[in-house]
Amino acid sequence: MVQPWADRTGVQVDYVGTRDMQTQLTAAIEGGGAGLPDLAGIPGPGLMVEWFEDGALKPLDFIDVDAYMEAAPPGLPELGEVDDTLAGIFFKAAVKGFIWYNTNVYDGTVPESWDAVMSTDPAPAESLWCVALESGDASGWPGTDWIEDIVIRQSGPDVYDAWVRGEQTWTSQEIRSAFEEFGEVVATTAGGGNAILTTAFQNGGNGMFTDPPDCLFHHQASFMSDFLADPARAGAAPEDFDFFVMPDIDPQYSGAVTGGGDLFGMFNDTPQARSLIEYLVSAEAQEIWAERGGFIAANTGVPLDAYGDEPSRKAAETLQETTGLRFDASDSMPGAMNAAFQGAMVRFAQNPDDLEAILAELDTVQADAYREE
């Protein structure tokens, strides 16, 4: 993706990948900034705000902000702003709330409602759902996505936004109802709680392709197509899997969609870093990755026919058509709240009967986390 820019500018790009990005960046910031990269991915808007206000992240007002905003899906680029100053850019997007299935097992009928999904006969699969929450130190995050998708479809964007801001308590009926609904999913999941907690999220859809299938459906974001096609995981051919968007729970909130994206920020303000940021937000750069498949551009100037696989093209179309996009709630919450939410999902999957205690503890964390902002 960056090679054309490197060839034009003659600048060498040293890439370092890690699954422990938050810990490493936090340590470098707390250590005075030594060792910080020029550019880096940021785990979410919540940490972006903290790091920008601390002075670690530099403003990105050198790019053509109006053009960047106009080319992005509504609601996404604003999440990179702090007090009307651009602090982070999105070059990759993800649409959440997709229900994946094996096209050789499920006929592709799109259920008209969430009740219709939950009443689907899973045969010949053993169970209706496969759920996987294991993700190392971040275990539980796929469960937070479940709750977020239920909240926005069940109680609407206003409740969702208030929850993100820390104004909607976890013990409120709206949030409790979302957990209770997810409890119904847990009860119809292949392998039960043990499988949910021990299955890596990347392998969450594998059970749809066993013989006989362990499950009929798997809930995950648009990036799941990469894992389903991975020969080391499900190993499915692109024509063997597809998705439909999680349907409405309450029709009055029809069209509400959650999403995410790869948020990038600048820690060292150099001419080279500025130039690369400007390139990354361009349709030229993002089209290269789109052609390879498994990628959703944050720049809507990338044409739909440029996508290298059908699931990614459908996901991009969903993103371009949505008018009610909300960013991943947990990633928009303060770091302490996000971590507690992830842990709560692990505990809830282990013992749904602990719901009241779990929600009360989340209320306590919420009171502290938002007071410290």
Let me know if residue 320 belongs to a domain.
no
Q: Is residue 48 located within the same domain as residue 186? A: no
pLDDT in tens, 335-370: 899 999 999 999 999 999 999 999 999 999 999 999
Q: Is residue 234 located within the same domain as residue 354? A: yes
Q: What is the pTM of this model?
A: 0.86
Q: Is the pLDDT of residue 64 over 80?
A: yes
- Confidence band of 46 (pLDDT split at 50, 70, 90): confident
Q: Is residue 110 located within the same domain as residue 221? A: yes
Let me know if residue 33 belongs to a domain.
yes
Q: Is residue 250 located within the same domain as residue 294? A: no
Let me know if residue 358 belongs to a domain.
yes
| pLDDT the model gives residue 238 | 86
Q: Is residue 35 located within the same domain as residue 166? A: no
| pLDDT the model gives residue 373 | 62
Q: Is the pLDDT of residue 62 over 90?
A: yes
Q: Is residue 232 located within the same domain as residue 86? A: no
Let me know if residue 296 belongs to a domain.
yes
Q: Is the pLDDT of residue 297 over 90?
A: yes
- Confidence band of 142 (pLDDT split at 50, 70, 90): very high
Q: Is the pLDDT of residue 323 over 80?
A: no
Q: Is residue 246 located within the same domain as residue 282? A: no
CATH of the domain at 80: 3.40.190.10
Q: Is residue 366 located within the same domain as residue 282? A: no
Mean pLDDT of 230-247: 92
> Rounded distance, CA 71 to CA 73, Å?
7
Let me know if residue 270 belongs to a domain.
yes
pLDDT in tens, 175-198: 999 999 999 999 999 999 999 999
Range of the domain at 74: 3-93+263-313
Let me know if residue 323 belongs to a domain.
no
Q: Is residue 88 located within the same domain as residue 121? A: no
| pLDDT the model gives residue 344 | 99
Let me know if residue 26 belongs to a domain.
yes
> Rounded distance, CA 145 to CA 209, Å?
23
| pLDDT the model gives residue 304 | 95
pLDDT in tens, 19-30: 678 889 999 999
> Rounded distance, CA 191 to CA 134, Å?
14
Q: Is residue 250 located within the same domain as residue 271? A: no
| pLDDT the model gives residue 321 | 82
Per the structure, how many domains does the chain have?
Answer: 2
| pLDDT the model gives residue 282 | 96
Q: Is residue 56 located within the same domain as residue 153? A: no
Q: Is residue 217 located within the same domain as residue 76? A: no
pLDDT in tens, 117-133: 999 999 999 999 999 99
Instruction: For the chain, give the mean pLDDT.
Output: 94
